[in-house]
Structure 1
Amino acid sequence: MSTPASTSANQQQTHTPVGLIAFAWTLVGVPLAYGLYNTVKAASALFGG
């Protein structure tokens, strides 16, 4: 029986810079937070009066 080509012995670990991770989360998080804020504001106007 053959073993899979990508075993844990064949895989190399990569290092992602912390700054790149922070930039990616900011790139996604800021528009997400803005959209959630506007959604809650609009919903409160509809349901809260």
Structure 2
Amino acid sequence: MAKLMPPATVNVELTPAELALVRRALGLVHNFGDPDDWEPAERLREDLEPGE
């Protein structure tokens, strides 16, 4: 297992279905996650949205 130290850049290949699951999971953080994680999860979810 890799140990990531901030700041880090990680490239991961995902299928469209896997990416959709990650986005959905990040959306659930606001309902079920720790409040300290709400903002970082939302920023990451926005970063994963398709570009225009």
TM-score when normalising by structure 2: 0.34
TM-score when normalising by structure 1: 0.35
Give the greater-gyration-radius structure (CA): 1
The structure with more helix, counted as a fraction of residues? 1
